[in-house]
Structure 1
Amino acid sequence: MAAVPAVDAEGSVIFSDLGYNGIHEEDDKYGREMVSQPKKETSKMDANIWRLLPDHLIERVLPWLPVPSIVRSQLVCKSWNSMINSRLFSHYYSEAYFLVEREPWFLVFPKKHENLGLAYDPLENRWINLPFNFLPTESRAVATAEGLICMIPKANNINSLYICNPFSKSWRVVPRPPGLLKFFFLVAGVVVEKMTRSFKMVLAGSELVSGDIDQFVLTAEVYDSETNCWMRSRSFLVEAPVFPWRAISHGILYCVIGQAPWNIIGFNVHNGSWFRISAPMPALLTSVKLMDHKGRLILIGGIGNSGITTEIGMWELNEASVEWMKVGGLPKEFCDGFLMSLSRRFACVGHGDLIYFTSKKYPKMLVYDLSTQSWNWMQCCPELVDPHLHIFNGFCFQPRLDM
């Protein structure tokens, strides 16, 4: 999918600020260890510096900027707009993309806004609009990877899927695989090849074995962008249906099956094989979520007795020792304030270093940084009436211009 960054002629809302940058608190009623979201400092460069800089150097500098800055740079002048839309710039951008660590955005889709996503940019500390009205029909997102979003049309009579980039507004029609609607709980993922920028899309689900309520068959359909074909995996018999909590890590789609004490199943997207994770699950888990942390699988779970969450823990799968190693958590004293509902349930989504958390009845979101092991408060976007509900359909999204 060739991608060229674009700005709407009508002054689109691609990077329009929602007019809310959050509340910055120096202290929090639950303790000083809870670090607040810092304000981002921006400094203005002398215009003379940029005016005297040769075009070939500007062409090498701009690809290192964050995506919003690159898109806004198109409005500087016609020559910059032409430069950013050139193939050479796309080549430089691809080179720079893998050399700069970029924090993932948090992307949600409010139900009251059709064809509109809301994304939180942690670098600029603001919410922005991402319109999806460039797609032929209203669709829902099911997976993201490297700037691409897999969308399934809401109308069942449309026999196609879309893979799109909301920044370039480029999209590709993908034929819907046969038997998709038979799946009991759909699990989706996208794997992008680093060198070729080709991708594989996997749609997996479980089907009830006729006459036996304790037997389900896991099946996956894998689409290859290079061959434009779907391949169906071998079936894998399990004792419970697959749940929508999943993560893609190192080309493996991991998903959760059943309820407590839960099991985790892996699917190798490249060779089409299923396997079980044999590492014993951590004790006293009340809930399970999965995420990828730079090629390593992270398990996020509630901890407590009798199904009541009193702590939130995080573990990394150690494949060599076949065990879950604890890498962080939210202490009990903070959970008492954050988990305010009677059910004490929370939701989260994460990728890379960042994990976004919400809980019922709490007005803010929590963000955990695995690299610094720090917790930050993040004010929810006013457009999200129920952030806890929206995060169940939310994604960590890595903006990218060259896909």
Structure 2
Amino acid sequence: MRNMQSEIWRNLPQHVLEIIVGKLDVESLVKFRCVSKTFKNFVSSASFRSLRLETQETSPWLVMFNKQDQYRFCRAYDTVNKKWHLISVEFLPYNRRHNLQLLAASSQLLCFTTQSCVILCNPLTQKWRRLVSSCINLLTHEMHRANRPAIAMATLSADDDVLFMLCNGRAIIYSTRSDRWVAQTESVPRSNLRSDAVFCNGSFYFISWEAEEILAYDLERSEWKILDGPMGEEALAFGRLVSCGKSVFVVGGIGFEGIAKSLCIWELHESSMEWKEVDCAPQMMSSALFSGCYHNYEHIYCFGHGDSICMSCVSWPEVLIYSLSWRTWNWVPPCPVLSNMARSGFRWVSFKPTFNGLV
């Protein structure tokens, strides 16, 4: 087939072009955006975002960022198509002398922090917003301490993502739609909370350092609720919260004298508010994860990804995935383009590659 003449492409009606481009996959759209400034603006337009929202449903990617990497890229793995992608974050306004850290993520936005600011961005549209408030000043000041402020992100709608932070015993909420911070009047009932948190069914969940208690904050009612951990009074070597689908899970290491020997998953059943064991990792896999973090369990973090639960650590560029649907355990294939400079400081999140996430 002969190539279509350029005059025909040039006179292609706008609505026809939108329909054609709207059916492209994410990788092709990223390349299309780089052709010209006109195409870049077109992909970022409100009409295109609306069309894309109606016609294309994308699966989330596993995004890995390494703060020690001299090249500012996120490595993203498409678990459906089994492909790796590079996502540039060079467009962010940061000083190269300061470490850029991936702090949190919603399903459609990433949150980075430096020593002086916090930035929300959509890496596909390359739109970003610097957050400014006394809360952010406190967050950036406390980031390098052992007891970091608890923080989480959630997508409430296509045009509204929220950043939730515990600041001086209060819940502080930021909305991208309103572009303002709101401090809740009710004080946080506990103070010994881990810095990571999750969002599920309208509530933010926090776990205590000993994994003995779970705190739930109902966003609509502005109410706190305290739950027992999955092991009750029997402490875990470590415990991490995960939100996956419409359920909350705890991933924990079970052992003796603070040494984890096995890795287990529990699910919270909201009807009875009881924890039920889901599965335990094969011994070789759990041992590999523990040895990868040199048995420093503070290096381990977990997160939900589609219908799967992911486990990794900051000192090792590997991810262990448990599929809730298939009840299988697998490792993500190693990234083939990982820089030799990247030896530690790995951070993984689940991110939906969409052009609809607004900043």
Equivalent of residue 347 in structure 1, options 284, 294, 300: 300
Structure 1 residue 122, shift from structure 2 partner: 2.4
Q: Unmatched 5+ residue regions in structure 2?
A: none
2:148 aligned counterpart, secondary structure: strand
Q: 1:140 aligns with which of 101, 104, 123?
A: 101
Letter in 1 for 2:302: V
Which of the residues 244, 257, 264 maps onto 2:195? 244
CA distance in 1, matches of 2:200, 2:120: 20
Shift in CA distance, 285/166, structure 1 to aligned 2, threshold 3 Å: same
CA distance in structure 1 between the partners assigned to 2:2 and 2:255 by the alignment: 58
TM-score by length of 2: 0.77
Distance 1:149 1:344, change over 3 A: closer
Q: Counterpart of 2:107 in structure 1: which amino acid?
A: E
Could you give the per-residue CA deviations for residues 243-273 of structure 1, whole angstroms, max 9, x where no partner exists? 12321222322111132x5211122334433
Matches within 5 A, 1:313-392: 313-336=264-287, 339-340=290-291, 343=295, 345=297, 347-351=300-304, 352-358=306-312, 364-381=318-335, 383=338, 389-391=344-346
CA RMSD after TM alignment? 3.8
For the Cα contact (< 8 Å) 2:66–2:344, is it kept in 1?
no
Which residue is equivalent to 1:277? 227
In 2, Cα distance between equivalents of 1:61 and 1:284? 56
In 2, distance between residues paired with 1:236 and 1:361?
Answer: 32
Asked whether the equivalents of residues 189 and 247 of structure 1 are also in contact (C-alpha less than 8 Å), the reply is yes
- Partner secondary structure for residue 349 of structure 1: strand
Correspondence for 2:182: 231
Give 1:350's aligned amino acid. F
SS in 2 for 1:324: strand
**2-structure distance, mates of 1:361, 1:325:** 30
Q: How does 1:2-401 map to 2 (within 5 A)?
A: 59-60=18-19, 62-63=21-22, 65-74=24-33, 84-96=43-55, 100=57, 102-113=59-70, 115-138=72-95, 139-155=100-116, 161-178=118-135, 180-181=138-139, 184-194=147-157, 197-205=159-167, 207=168, 218-233=169-184, 234-238=186-190, 240-259=191-210, 262-278=212-228, 280-281=230-231, 285-336=236-287, 339-340=290-291, 343=295, 345=297, 347-351=300-304, 352-358=306-312, 364-381=318-335, 383=338, 389-391=344-346, 393-401=347-355
Paired AA for residue 258 in structure 1: W
Partner of 1:32: none
Relative distance call for 1:353 and 1:380 in structure 2 (3 A) is same
Percentage of matched positions with identical amino acids: 21
Task: Measure the CA separation in 2 of the matches of 1:66 and 1:348.
Answer: 30
Gap change, CA 1:175 and 1:272, over 3 Å in 2: farther
How far apart, CA to CA, are the structure 2 residues paired with 1:386 and 1:275?
44
Unaligned stretches of 5+ in structure 1? 1-45, 208-217
How many angstroms apart in 1 are the aligned matches of 2:342 and 2:267? 27
Shift of 1:278: 4.2
Look up the equivalent residue of 1:199 and give its one-letter code.
D
Q: Distance in 1 between matches of 2:343 and 2:37?
A: 43
